[in-house]
Amino acid sequence: MEKFHAILRLLEKHSVWPDYSTAKPQEFGLLEMPLEVRNLARKPEELRAAEAALSEQVERYERTLMFHLNNKNREWDFDWGLSTSKDIDWDNGEEWGVIAESDAIDAIVSLSRERLLPRVQKCLCGCWFYARFAHQRFAQGHTRCRDRYHRSSAEYKEKRRKYMREYYRLQTSRNVK
């Protein structure tokens, strides 16, 4: 997931790609740049490397198209299923972890197709969650993470300092019931 987010950050960083019109043909082993290539966008090297790393990681999951009949409405249902994996020791019970990873990759691909991948974020505690709202920073029900975040802010610390000074002053003056 972090590699997907790294690519999203790189896309924001490189919002405009230079075209090949300024490229030197010698860089590509050519004498002259072909006309159809001159106006094409040139992908930044940093983005190309991140894309290759992600493709290499996802490549380990081989897929098979599976279909079955739905019992309720007797319609065909097609889906991609995990067939095998290249570097899994199937005899030692590793397949369940791979299947869970594979399902996560499927979810990421689905969210990506819907252009919702930026909504998947990492909470302070390290767990991933789907942000239902653009301003959401923490997983639902993670009040400890939210509290820890606010307690670390400068304005909270200043408020707390003032409150504790007043509290200490009242306690030492014995003006409290």
pLDDT, tens digit (0-9, with 9 covering 90-100), for 100-139: 677 777 788 888 888 888 888 888 888 888 888 888 888 8
User: So where are the chain's domains?
Assistant: 1-59, 60-116, 123-177
For position 157, what pLDDT does the model report? 95
Q: Is 121 helix (H, G, I), strand (E, B) or coil?
A: strand
Q: What is the pLDDT of residue 162?
A: 97
Most confidently predicted of 45-54, 107-116, 152-161: 152-161
What is the H or E stretch that residue 55 is in?
Answer: helix 45-58
pLDDT, one tens digit per residue, over 2-22 is 777 777 777 777 776 666 666
The pTM of this model reads 0.52
Instruction: Tell me how far apart the alpha carbons of residues 136 and 119 are, in angstroms, rounded to a whole number.
Output: 9
Q: Which of 19-33, 47-61, 126-140, 160-174 has the highest mean pLDDT?
A: 160-174
| Pick from 17, 38, 14, 18: nearest CA to 28 | 38
**92: how many CB neighbours lie within 10 A of its CB?**
7
Residue 118, φ and ψ in degrees, nearest 5: -60, -20
pLDDT digits (tens, 9 = 90+) for 24-34: 767 767 777 66
Digit-coded pLDDT (tens) for 61-103? 777 777 777 777 777 777 766 655 555 555 665 555 555 677 7
pLDDT number for residue 163: 96
Amino acid at position 124, single letter: L
